[in-house]
């Protein structure tokens, strides 16, 4: 998983509505928190490991401390078909 | 003597006012691309008369005569003039409706502005655009007093929502064409999506416009002082001004349009 690279499903869009970041597609609507928004904005063309590093740098935390949360969120996006693993 | 500087011409305002049939309590202003500095030699100068009574203009022959406004044309100083006469009361009513919009409701965007009867929203919002970007020629105090009444934040927020609605409607066609693997048409639809996306962005940056043809000149204006606008313009150029010769390139371009559109719109507060 850590070396996997993903592409966004082009039918998913994110919008800022009343100070909330909303990710939506047909039949799907999900509120993203700040870290979720960061991951969504940076997920294309970068490995999961690179995203963890970027996020850790952004929030000045240890990458190991956030690794599981990032992987869980990416698994959620995969399950919802919001991202597709690059071949 | 007060003059309008249009391209390389100096037009005395007093001479211009002589050909207009306004009354003492009317407001006269000039607007359009020439006033905004983005016009060209073929652009017309738009003159607006906001009047207390449209009936005063009944004896004037108008090319277009609608319930709420009249349009006529003339030529002077080598420039074509479009003259639109609107009811001051109507603009006041529209301003009041814009000011009263409650954005935090579930009301659909197009229903937020409950317009007076028989008015097309495009005509009305174009009038508001011309008004806020215009230059008073007669009754400056009346013009300023009306302008001060308008809540500009509400105007721009409304326009962001309206233009984003347009993007969301058109982007579905783009996605549909990508799904169908009709990438040539996807790119064609995508060009419209790009222009609508940048329209939304410009409104979010409090730049007003009322025609797609002004998106690029306005973006170029903004890019002179704003780094994000400069980045968006560069990306727009890379996606738009490119030669596509096979299906793979069309497919890639369609996806670039989707990515760029989603990136720009995700940054805009609704």
Whether B269 and chain A come into contact, CB under 8 Å, resolves to yes
Is the predicted pLDDT of residue B80 greater than 90, yes or no? no
Q: Has residue A1 got a pLDDT over 80?
A: yes
Instruction: Report the alpha-carbon distance of residue B194 to residue B190 in Å, rounded.
Output: 6
Question: Could you say which residues from 31 to 60 on chain A have a Cβ atom under 8 Å away from some Cβ of chain B?
Answer: 41, 44
- The SS3 assignment for B244 reads coil
With beta carbons less than 8 A apart as the criterion, state whether B124 and B94 touch: yes
What count of CB pairs under 8 Å joins A to B?
32
Q: What is the pLDDT of residue B188?
A: 96
For A11, the closest chain B residue by CA position comes to B175
pLDDT in tens, B233-243: 999 999 999 99
- For B245, counting Cβ atoms within 10 Å of its Cβ (0-12 exposed, 13-18 middle, 19+ buried), the class is exposed
Given a contact cutoff of 8 angstroms between Cβ atoms, the answer to whether A18 and A86 are in contact is no
pLDDT surpassing 80 at residue B210: yes
User: For testing the chain B interface, which of A6, A8, A9, A10 should be mutated: the one with the most B CBs within 10 Å?
Assistant: A10
Grade residue B207 by pLDDT with cuts at 50, 70 and 90: very high
Statement: residue B260 has pLDDT above 80: yes
CA angle A38, A39, A41 (to 5 degrees): 65
* Residue to test with chain A: of B169, B266, B268, most A Cβ within 10 A: B266
Tens digit of each residue's pLDDT (9 = 90 or more) over B121-134: 888 899 999 999 99
Listed by number, the residues of chain B in 169-188 with a beta carbon closer than 8 Å to a beta carbon of chain A are 171, 175, 178
pLDDT above 60: residue B220: yes
Ramachandran angles phi, psi of B137, nearest 5°? -110, -30
Beta bridge partners of A44: A6
The pLDDT value given to residue B34: 82
Structural contact between residues B174 and B186, judged by C-beta atoms closer than 8 angstroms: yes
A27 SS3 class: coil
Cα–Cα distance between B17 and B131 in angstroms, integer?
Answer: 18
| pLDDT of B43 | 79
Outline where DSSP puts E strands in B108-189. Answer: 135-138
Q: Name the CATH topology of A6-85.
A: Arc Repressor Mutant, subunit A (1.10.10)
Residue A37: the pLDDT is 93
Is the model's pLDDT at B117 over the cut of 70?
no
**E strands of chain B, at which residues?**
3-6, 9-12, 27-31, 45-51, 64-65, 69-76, 79-87, 135-138
- Name the band, by pLDDT with cuts 50, 70 and 90, for residue B1: low
Find the mean pLDDT for residues B38-60: 80
User: Residue A17 is inside which H or E element, if any?
Assistant: strand A13-17
Give the pLDDT of residue B2. Answer: 67
Q: What is the DSSP letter of A74?
A: H
Residue A19 C-alpha, separation from nearest chain B C-alpha, in angstroms: 7
Q: Output helix, strand, coil percentages for chain A, rounded to the nearest 5.
A: 45, 30, 30
Range list of β-strands (E), B77-153:
79-87, 135-138
**By percentage, how much of chain B surpasses pLDDT 90?**
58
Q: Does the structure show a pLDDT above 70 at B105? A: no
Instruction: Identify whether the C-beta of residue A82 lies closer than 8 Å to the C-beta of residue A23.
Output: yes
Q: Taking 80 as the threshold, does the pLDDT of residue B76 lie above it?
A: no
Sort out which chain B residues have CB atoms less than 8 A from A38's CB and list them.
none
Distance CA B200, CA A24 (A): 19
Cβ–Cβ contact B270 with A under 8 A: yes
* Cβ contact B270–A21 (<8 Å): no
Q: What is the pTM of this model?
A: 0.86
DSSP B116: P
Q: Which residues of B touch A16 (CB under 8 A)?
A: 266-270
The pLDDT, as a whole number, for residue B62 is 61
Q: Predicted ipTM?
A: 0.74
CB B34 within 8 A of CB B7: yes
The answer on pLDDT for B114 being more than 90 is no
């Amino acid at each position: 998983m850590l070396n996997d690279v993903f592409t966004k499903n082009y039918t998913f869009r994110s919008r800022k509505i009343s100070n909330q970041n909303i990710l939506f597609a047909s039949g799907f609507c999900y509120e993203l928190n700040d870290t979720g928004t960061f991951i969504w904005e940076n997920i294309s063309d970068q490995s999961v490991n690179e995203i963890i590093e970027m996020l850790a740098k952004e929030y000045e935390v240890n990458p190991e401390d956030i690794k599981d949360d990032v992987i869980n969120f990416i698994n959620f996006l995969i399950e919802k078909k919001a991202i597709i693993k690059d071949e | 003597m007060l003059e309008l500087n249009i391209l390389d011409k100096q037009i005395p305002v007093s001479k211009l006012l002589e050909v207009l049939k306004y009354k003492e309590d009317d407001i006269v202003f000039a607007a359009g691309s020439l006033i905004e500095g983005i016009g060209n030699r073929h652009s017309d100068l738009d003159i607006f008369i906001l009047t207390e009574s449209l009936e005063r203009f009944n004896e004037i022959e108008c090319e277009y005569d609608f319930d709420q406004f009249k349009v006529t044309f003339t030529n002077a100083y080598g420039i074509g003039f479009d003259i639109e006469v609107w009811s001051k009361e109507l603009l006041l009513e529209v301003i009041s409706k814009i000011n009263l919009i409650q954005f935090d409701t579930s009301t659909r965007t197009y229903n937020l502005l409950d317009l007076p009867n028989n008015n097309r929203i495009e005509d009305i919002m174009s009038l508001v655009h011309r008004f806020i970007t215009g230059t008073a020629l007669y009754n400056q105090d009346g013009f300023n007093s009306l302008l001060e009444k308008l809540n500009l934040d509400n105007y721009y927020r409304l326009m962001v929502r309206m233009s984003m609605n347009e993007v969301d409607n058109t982007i579905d066609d783009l996605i549909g064409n990508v799904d169908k693997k009709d990438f040539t048409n996807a790119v064609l639809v995508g060009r419209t999506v790009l222009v609508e996306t940048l329209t939304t962005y410009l409104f979010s940056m409090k730049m007003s416009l009322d025609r797609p043809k002004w998106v690029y000149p306005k973006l170029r204006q903004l890019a002179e002082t704003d780094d994000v606008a400069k980045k968006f313009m560069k990306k727009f150029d890379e996606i738009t001004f490119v030669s596509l010769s096979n299906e793979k390139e069309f497919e890639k371009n369609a996806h670039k349009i989707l990515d760029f559109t989603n990136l720009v719109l995700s940054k805009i507060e609704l």
